[in-house]
Amino acid sequence: MCPDLVWYVAYGSNMHAARLDCYLRGGRPPGGVRDYPGCRDPAAPRATRPMVISGRMYFALESKVWTGGLALYDPLDPGRTPGRAYLLTVGQFADLAAQEMHRAPGLDLDLGDLAAGARVTLGPGRYETVVRVGTADGLPILTLTTPSRSADVPWNAPSAAYLHHLSAGLGEAHGWSRRRAARYLAGCPGAAGTWTEDTIAVLPSPPG
């Protein structure tokens, strides 16, 4: 792609460091139903920082790991999405993307010259579109989402276990209280109307 390092910005459950660690080192996250093989390079991120990106997070489709809706991102929707950026090697990002699509890690990605604001669709899968949402420290900021717009896919409420990881990630990355995280998540398309601030705020940690 060019540099050896990229910022990967997570806006869903990967904001929770313990959940991201299953992509890096392998394992099964609490509340999940799948074991991950991990990256070729299982090293921890070289840095992490809170980040807010333009666009909107919403819940749609059906998760094979959590059941319920997936956190997806539409960079063209109005709004601002809180996330967490991790400094990864290009190889780690490629392996993470492969595992997101239930493929074995091991192949590098050829993203070409992905300019800020541009996207490249690697396949039809829900996390096979790479979007460059900006630049930090001279390095590209990348995220993963579906190739569809938010209005073109059926919204679907997320599971309790999934919301727990998102809430924990918002607390770790941004220092948000459980109540503030719950208020944000309850207002996201797909969750709104099924989950409320009160029901999310009191969710217990999933077993495991």
Classify strands 80-89 and 48-54 as parallel, antiparallel or unpaired. antiparallel
Closest CA to 203 of 186, 188, 111: 186
Full set of structural domains in the chain with CATH? 5-201 (3.10.490.10)
pLDDT of 155 reads: 97
pLDDT of 119 reads: 87
pLDDT of 123 reads: 81
Distance CA 6, CA 88 (A): 6
| Positions of the chain with pLDDT lower than 70, given as ranges | 1-3, 207-208
Distance CA 133, CA 119 (A): 9
pLDDT of 208 reads: 52
pLDDT of 9 reads: 98
Place of tokens 């190889």: 91
63 DSSP assignment: -
Q: Quote the tokens at residue 86.
A: 């991790």
**pLDDT of 142-184, one tens digit each?**
999 999 999 999 999 999 999 999 999 999 999 999 999 999 9
Distance CA 81, CA 55 (A): 6
Q: Quote the tokens at residue 145.
A: 């989402």
26 DSSP assignment: -
Sheet holding 119-121, edge to edge: 48-54, 80-89, 5-10, 139-145, 129-136, 119-121
